[in-house]
Amino acid sequence: MARNLRQELADKKVLILDGAMGTMLYNKGVYINRSFEELNLSQPDLVKEIHQEYLDAGADILMANTFSANRKKLEHFELSEKVGEINQAAVKLCREVCQDKAFVAGSMGPLGMKIKHSHRERSTVISCYQEQAQYLIGAGVDLIVVETFNDLSEVEMVIEAIKNVSADLPLFVFMTFTWDHSLLTGKTPEDVVTFLETQNIDVIGANCSTGPHSMLGTLKKMMEVSHLPVAAMPNAGPPQQVEGRTLYMTNASYMKKYAKRFINSGVQLIGGCCGTTPEMIREIATSVKALSPSRVKVVDRKSTLTVESQEPVAYEKLTGMSKVLADNDFLYSVELRPPRGFNADSILKKIKELKEYGVHMVNIPDSPRATLSMSPMALAILVREHVGLESIIHFTCNNRNLLAMHGDLLGLHALNIRDVLLVTGDPPNMGNYPMATSIYDVDAIGITRIVDNLNHGLDMIGKPMKNITSFHNGVGVDPGAIDMDREIDRYIQKVEAGAKYVMTQPVFDVKVFEKFMSQVKDYRIKTLVGIQPLLSHKNCEFMHYEVPGVSVPDDIREVMKKAGSGPEARREGVAIAQLALEAVRDLCDGAYIMAPMGNYKMPLAVMGKIPVEAVQ
């Protein structure tokens, strides 16, 4: 079945656009004094090779090699009589690669001339654009991308030209902004949105000229007023001349990091412009897949009438953790990363001391930030055997298919490990082993529904099981998410899917947490607030800028800046965490406190179990 672009946009699916065509042709030895568009005729295999690389990298939309394939631009190469042939060949090449795997877009760029806007010249300009649009649409493009424009009056003409040919074809318009977030004509992002939303188009966005950092600022301004999906097509940073060649120095890792920021800001389409490569698009696609994984259909037991589910175990009887929460005792858990090797002696010693100070649980992440570590299941068994303490283990979706998830869950239950935090998981390429692959059959909502089915004696397709499980299953939430509407919607979906408790991202801004809790009060479940003592000023800045959804208030950042690093900074971090915990204590049912770099003394000091001065 062919994909429906407008439906995917309406479903809020994040789509991947391809990257630079010109950069790739240049890298493959084509000189810039040639018409890149003419290569559709003279070197079609080279053009197809680049399209294939972007498709293999994960692009959902490939742009035909037609950016400058208008009569005015082709005149420079004495190719104006081949407008139709070049555009038609470009679409054919792109379609041969895409088939039904991706959408084929016709790319239309500026004429490259100063337009005086007289009636006669306007007619000539529209005619030029209309000619190219006729060939693109006639060749069967799925959409047209109007890109790299900095003059809204010219954009108005190209849109009119396209609409004269087809009033119904999906149309994207990307403007080019300067580093200070304005067009060369002085128009602001808000001005651009106000105008383009009157033009009956499908997507607005920004491309070219600037790198990801500057473009993110521009798009945030656009999204404040836009009702349309927004796209980001940044350059790979500023170009530099190296031994006579134009090179872009930004790497794929940097693009991947900003892809995550774009998505968390609400951008729905991401690709690249000048300097971007298939490697960069692959990194972007992996980040998108991690944040918006594919959804395998999991039967919702509440919506099916074909089977009868069994009565679940009462909440307070699920686990020791559920009983503490049901009794309204404030629960403390400390998060410790599992060891990188198989020797757990050091961490078991720390956990033994935590137990002696009255900590209820330990929280064990699964390959946090995609780093290599011992299985949390194995460590949980060792903790029970050697310390006598129960664990909350993270159960991730990114590295298991559905069968493996079912098998591991049943195995956990057989081993009496039943306090689980169900999370989507970090993409492998953010860690030290980027060659590892991700699966993402379901996300945190999907796996929550699976566990809820198991707790009612059903498998994922609603088929009765012989026994019911008694998992105490929790989920994560980000009270400081940039797209708060989306976060609240996902929170509600998780609760409706059967989540029993929620654990938050680290909270530094108490007002943000208070606001979030007030917004979800009608769906409130047992809540454990995340508390992270700051190690140093550097650690503080990392949390603020690099961890999605975490915002450290300016006054705290200033305090940590003065504290610097070392024992005094760590003690300052503990004091800040103590204040945060005290401020939110009445709004939650417990806290899980991180032990940064394995420093378990810091959580104990935050809880008041040891003096702050004992922290080294």
Q: Is residue 304's pLDDT more than 60?
A: no
529 versus 30: the higher-pLDDT residue is 529
Statement to judge: residues 283 and 228 lie in one domain: yes
Evaluate whether residue 581 is within a structural domain: no
Instruction: Give kind and range of the element (H or E) at residue 574.
Output: helix 567-584
Do 101 and 155 sit in the same domain of this protein? yes
For the segment 317-335, the average pLDDT, to the nearest whole number, is 94
Mean pLDDT across the stretch 377-395?
Answer: 95
Q: Which two tokens stand for residue 438?
A: 């991700």
Res. 434: pLDDT tops 60: no
Is residue 390 a part of any domain in this protein?
Answer: yes
Separation CA 279–CA 287 (nearest Å):
13
pTM of the model: 0.63
* 261 is a domain residue: yes
Helix (H) or strand (E) holding 594: strand 590-594
Q: Which residues contact 232 (CB under 8 A, 6 or more apart)?
A: 205, 206, 207, 212, 215, 216, 219, 262, 267, 269, 270, 271
Query: Could you read off the pLDDT of 389-416 as tens digits, one per residue?
Result: 999 999 988 778 888 888 999 999 999 9
Task: Pick the closest to residue 290 from 406, 422, 420, 442 (CA basis).
Answer: 442
pLDDT value for 1: 44
pLDDT attached to residue 442: 81
Q: Does 347 have pLDDT greater than 50?
A: yes
Residue 305 has pLDDT above 50, yes or no: no
CA 271, 268, 399 angle in degrees (round to 5)? 80
pLDDT for residue 425 = 77
Q: What is the CATH number of the domain that holds 347?
A: 3.20.20.220
Task: Looking at the structure, tell me whether residues 284 and 325 fall in a common domain.
Answer: no
22 found inside a domain:
yes
Q: What is the pLDDT of residue 426?
A: 66
Cα pseudo-dihedral 212, 214, 215, 216, rounded to 10 = 80
* Cα gap 14→191, rounded to integer Å: 25
What pLDDT, on a 0 to 100 scale, did the predictor assign at position 278?
93
pLDDT tens readout for residues 55-81: 999 999 999 999 999 999 999 999 999
**pLDDT of amino acid 290:** 64
Question: Does residue 478 sit in the same domain as residue 367?
Answer: yes
Query: 504-552 pLDDT, tens per residue?
Result: 999 998 999 999 999 999 999 999 999 999 999 988 988 887 676 677 8
Other residues' Cβ atoms within 10 Å of the Cβ of residue 33: 7
Q: Does residue 169 sit in the same domain as residue 250?
A: yes
- Domains of the chain: total: 2
State whether 242 and 327 are in the same domain: no
287 and 320 belong to one structural domain: no
Is residue 155 over pLDDT 80?
A: yes
Q: Is residue 242 very low, low, confident or very high in pLDDT (cuts 50, 70, 90)?
A: very low
Quick one: which H or E segment has residue 527? strand 526-531
| 253 and 374 fall within a common domain | no
pLDDT at 299: 67
CA neighbor of 419 nearest in space, from 374, 469, 471: 471
Predicted confidence band of residue 581 (pLDDT cuts 50, 70, 90)? very high
pLDDT digits (tens, 9 = 90+) for 357-371: 999 999 999 877 667
What confidence score (pLDDT) does residue 100 get?
86
**Has residue 291 got a pLDDT over 70?**
no
| Closest-CA residue to 471 (of 246, 321, 257) | 321
Q: What pLDDT is recorded for position 281?
A: 93
Residues 14, 123, single domain; the answer is yes
Distance of CA 494 to the CA centre of its chain: 18
Judge whether residue 302 has pLDDT over 80.
no
pLDDT of residue 578: 94
pLDDT, one tens digit per residue, over 185-207 is 999 999 999 999 999 999 999 99
What's the token pair of residue 460?
Answer: 């994922």
Please report the pLDDT score of residue 162 as a whole number: 97
Q: Are residues 353 and 265 in the same domain?
A: no
Q: Would you state the structure tokens that stand for residue 81, as one six-digit string? A: 């009589």
**CATH number of the domain enclosing 44:** 3.20.20.330
pLDDT of residue 250: 61
Question: Angle of helix 567-584 relative to helix 537-546, nearest 10 degrees?
Answer: 50
558 falls in which pLDDT band (50, 70, 90)?
A: very high
Q: Quick one: average pLDDT of 444-450?
A: 90
> Is residue 612 in a domain?
no
The SS3 call for residue 6 is helix
**If you average pLDDT over every residue of the chain, what do you get?**
88
Rounded to whole angstroms, how far apart are CA atoms 590 and 333? 8
Structure-token pair, residue 34:
């040639």
Same domain, 192 and 96: yes
Note the pLDDT of residue 359: 94
The residue from 256, 291, 326 where one domain ends is 291
Percentage of the chain lying above the pLDDT 90 cut: 65
Residue 465's domain comprises 315-548+589-601
Q: Is 99 in a helix, a strand, or coil?
A: coil
For residue 543, what pLDDT is reported? 83
- Domain contains 607: no
In a domain, 457, yes or no: yes
Q: How far apart are the C-alpha atoms of 501 and 529, rounded to whole Å?
A: 11
As to burial, measured by CB atoms within 10 angstroms (0-12 exposed, 13-18 middle, 19+ buried), residue 120 is exposed
Residue 444 has pLDDT above 90, yes or no: no
Which pLDDT belongs to residue 463? Answer: 84
Report yes or no on 514 lying in a domain. yes
Percent of the chain's residues with pLDDT above 70: 91
Residue 243 has pLDDT above 50, yes or no: no
Indicate whether 334 and 236 sit together in one domain: no
Label residue 118 exposed, middle or buried (CB < 10 Å: 0-12, 13-18, 19+). Answer: exposed
- How confident is the model over 421-437, as a mean pLDDT? 66
Q: Which of 122-136, 334-348, 398-412, 586-600 has the lowest mean pLDDT?
A: 398-412
Residue 472 CA: distances (Å) to CA of 220, 232, 313, 476, 515: 39, 40, 10, 14, 27
